[in-house]
Every structure is written in structure tokens, then in C-alpha cells.
Amino acid sequence: MIKEKIENSRLKLTFDVTKEDFEKALDKAFIAENEKVTIQGFRKGKAPRSMFEKTYGVESLFESAINVILNDKVQEAIKDEEVNKNAIGNFEPLLEEKIERGKDFKVSLVIDIYPEVTLPEYKGVEIKKQDLTVSDEDVEKAVQALAKKDATMEAKKDGVIEKGDYATFDFVGTVDGKEFEGGKADNYELQIGSGQFIPGFEDQMIGMKSEEVKDINVTFPENYGHEALAGKPAVFKVTVHEIKVEKFPEFTDEYVAGLKIDGVNNLEELKLKKKTELEDAKKVSEKDRQVDELINKILDAAKVDMPKTLVEQRFQAIKNQYENQAKMYNIPFEMFLQYMMQATVEQFNDIARRNAERQALFDVICGKIIEEEKLAPTKEEIEAKAEAEAKATGKTQDEVLKDNYSTFFNNLAYEKLINFLLSNAKEI
């Protein structure tokens, strides 16, 4: 067996096949193929070899004989320690020589292998410093959100639409002067600035008065789910009927006390609590942002001859996830993509494959760093995780480990990796 690494992290295995080997394979092929045919004068599968070859020709056995040989070579290949350790995916046959009876020849098998990785610089990577500032406006919004359930809507009779106001209006949309399906509604209520409509639509409603009529010009996004409208300019005739503003109760100490929030008896305590909550949330989001920035910089600098099998495995996992969600909602996959992503199957496949390529690269690079820096979790760390899970679920540690060992290993390894990368990054 001759091993040869070829492009796209593939391994080519070439085997010698002697004429004697081929004859033995032809014998096995004859037994299998003879069972499938009936030759006049003989029961099915009972015709002698000479009559079979006279009727169909010995060449009719070649394909089956080659399959016999290839199956044998697959078994030989997987017994090789190096091949068995690095191979991923399935073997693919490669026949580069003409097969003739009575002559030696060669056959090859090709399989994807785990790629060789030369790591980019992953220590001292520059990342933006965390911004943990929480403004008074942020605190005020958080406080106001608590009173949402007690808010009332008040008509704005003489004013104009401002961002945050609620407008009730009719609209009729046209493309190339013609109305289109789903582009018309009466007495539609929308909070202006909520971002529910096509970009630019809500901005152009700001400043309109009650009973004012206005043409709003927008362009549908290129990735809009309805292909017939994607990228098209459109005109919406909008008629405003009513403008409302949301009025919140006055935040007196008495009102705050009535909210019954632990440790909060007055407005100042409420603001302090909300500021602390926002700061804690920002720490989490800022850490996530730093992690994304750090990982993306490392991946962008990486160069890996990625095998297609790793990408395909990731792609199928992504697709299966969305298909299972569609089944949960009991709607066709195509319709699910339309509703959830405003995408066709082709658009989804394109997005999912790009994501799969990135995820596969992430797996390879992170796995290599974990190996280089010896960040793999210890047996004791995994068992401690399992013990905590066992106490929470009432199961035994062995039961938890049996079901979750790989999950615990991966989560702990990833946690160690992220902490290692962040501690070695350079904030700027």
C-alpha cells in the first residue's frame, strides 16, 4: 500500500492487484452474479461458469470483481494505524488503469484526513477594551420598562409623529405601478422606530400629522424572502388616522414600593438596582463581544487545507437543526425558511454552507490550540461536573457520565480555551 497526501487534505492509497488476485475476485463475482440470472436449460444460479461467460462475457463480471477487491482493500486500509487515526468520512474508489484479465494492475482509494494545522499567532491578539458604561438614559429606560404594564395610550391630536409614537394608518404598496400581494392593510398599528417595516419606511413617517397622506419610497432588501420583490423599489401610499403616545405612571416612592421588588423601597434604590443589573449584563455581553472579536481574528489569520467532509458534517448538522424545527411547527421546510429567515432553500443552503466552513475551521483551530496548550479537562474535572449534574437531577454519576461525557468534555475544554485566549489577549 502506497500512501500519498493530495490537495484538500485527502489521502490516496494505492494497492497492487495481481492477476491471481483478480481471478479470485472473478470467482466470487461469478457466484454473486450467477444468482441473479436465468440461462436457458439451467435453474436460476445453477449455470456453469463457461455457459455464463459464453452468454454474458467475462467482462460482465469485472465491475462486481473490482468491488470485491475494493472491499478487501478498505479492510486492509482501516487496519493501518496511521490511516485509522486520521481518516474521516468514507473511502472513494479511484481506478486509473484499464482492467484486463491476465494482467496485474493497481487500484486506489481516496479518503479525507484530518488537516495539518499551522497555528496563527493566538497570544497577544489585540482586542477592543470593554466598555462597561451605563448611562443615566439606559437606567431610565430600564426603570420605565417596569411600568409598561401600567402604561396608558393617549391620543396625540395636534402633534406630529415622533420616534416611539404609535400610529394607526392605511397603506397600499405598489411596484412598477402595480399593487402586490401582502402590500396593503387598513388601520394598521405600529410603533414608529420599532424596525418592523422595510428600512426607511418608518423614518419617513416621522413628522406626519393625523389624516395626512404621503407617498413613501423604499427599496426591498436584496435578500428579501419574496423573490419577486427582492431588490425592487416600491411606493407605499400611507394615510395616517391616529397618533398615540405611551404615558407611564409617575415614579413616586409609593409607586416603586408597590412594585414589590426585593431590597427596593424607593426610586433611588430602584435606579441603583437597575444600574447594577445593566452593568452585570454589559459585562457578559462585552465578554461575548471580545470573544467573538478574538476568535474571528485568529480564524482570519489561519490557513488550513480544509477537507470537504468536515464542512459537510457541519452543514448537515445545521440543516438538520432547522429541519427539526420545521417539523416541530408541523410546516414544510421551505415555508419555515420563508417565515423565519425570509430565504429560499437555495439561499439557506448558501448561508448554511458558509457558516459550516467557518465552524469547521473553528473546530480545527481551537482543537489544535487546546492540544498545544494542554487545555483538555482532566478526569477529575469531568467527574466533578457530572457529580453536580447528578445531584441536580437525582441520577447517579455513572448515568450522567454515560449520557453527557462528550458534552462535559467539550464545554470544559471550550471554557478553558476562552479563558486562556482572553488572559493572553491585549486590550487596546
Last residue of a domain, one of 97, 113, 129: 113
| Residues 234 and 272 placed together within one structural domain of the fold | no
Question: Is the per-residue pLDDT at 301 higher than 80?
Answer: yes
Q: Name the pLDDT band for 342 (thresholds 50, 70, 90).
A: confident
CATH number at residue 177: 3.10.50.40
Percent of the chain with pLDDT strictly greater than 90: 92
Answer yes or no: is 422 within a domain. Answer: yes
Which domain covers residue 88, as residue numbers? 2-113
122: in domain? no
**Do residue 71 and residue 159 come from a single domain?**
no
Q: Specify if 124 maps to a domain.
A: no
CATH number at residue 35: 3.30.70.1050
Please indicate, yes or no, whether residues 99 and 157 belong to a single structural domain of this protein.
Answer: no
User: Would you state the pLDDT for residue 340?
Assistant: 87
Residues 200, 317: one domain?
no
Residue 276 has pLDDT above 80, yes or no: yes
Residue 47: its pLDDT value, please?
92
Q: 220 and 322 share a domain?
A: no
Coil, strand or helix: which one is 349?
helix
Same domain, 21 and 168: no
pLDDT category of residue 197 using cuts at 50, 70 and 90: very high
User: Could you tell me the CATH number of the domain that includes residue 335?
Assistant: 1.10.3120.10
- The reply to whether 31 falls in a domain is yes
Of 214, 247, 280, which residue constitutes the final position of a domain? 247
Closest CA to 408 of 376, 367, 373: 376
C-alpha cell at position 236? 407605499
Contacts 24+ apart (CB under 8 A), 192-197: 192/161, 192/162, 192/163, 192/164, 192/165, 192/166, 192/167, 193/163, 193/164
Whether residue 36 lies inside any domain: the answer is yes
Task: Give the pLDDT score at 226.
Answer: 81
Instruction: Judge whether 242 and 168 are in contact, CB under 8 Å.
Output: yes
The tally of domains found in the chain comes to 3
> Checking phi first, is residue 281 left (phi over 0); if not, alpha (psi -120 to 50) or beta?
alpha
Q: What pTM does this model have?
A: 0.74
Cell numbers for 292, please give them: 467573538
User: At 183, phi and psi to the nearest 5?
Assistant: -100, 20
Kindly state whether residues 228 and 362 are assigned to the same domain.
no
Task: Let me know whether 199 and 288 are in one domain.
Answer: no
Q: Are residues 188 and 102 in the same domain?
A: no
- Is there a domain that residue 256 lies in? no
Residue 223 confidence (pLDDT): 81
pLDDT at 317: 97
Select from 62, 87, 113 the last residue of a domain: 113
Q: Read off the pLDDT of residues 207-266 as tens digits, 9 standing for 90 and up.
A: 999 999 999 999 999 888 788 898 999 999 999 999 999 999 999 999 999 999 999 999
Does residue 159 sit within a domain? yes
Alpha-carbon gap, residue 183 to 8, rounded angstroms? 48
Residue 341 has pLDDT above 90, yes or no: no
Residues 229 and 355 in one domain: no
Give the up-direction half-sphere exposure of residue 313: CA atoms within 13 A in the CB hemisphere. 13
The per-residue pLDDT for range 343-382, each reduced to its tens digit, is: 899 999 999 999 999 999 999 999 999 999 999 999 999 9
pLDDT digits 0-9 by tens, 151-178: 999 999 888 999 999 999 999 999 999 9
Question: For strand 426-427 and strand 126-127, is the pairing parallel, antiparallel, or unpaired?
Answer: parallel
Structure-derived torsion over alpha carbons of residues 385, 387, 388, 392, reported in degrees to the nearest 10: 140
Shared-domain flag, residues 411 and 292: yes
- DSSP string spanning 167-235? EEEEEEEEETTEEEEEEEEEEEEEETTS--SSTTHHHHHTT-BTT-EEEEEEE--TT-SSTTTTT-EEE
Name which of 349, 150, 159 is nearest 248 in CA terms. 150
Answer yes or no: is 324 within a domain.
yes
**Hey, what amino acid is at 217?**
N
Do 208 and 285 lie in a common domain?
A: no
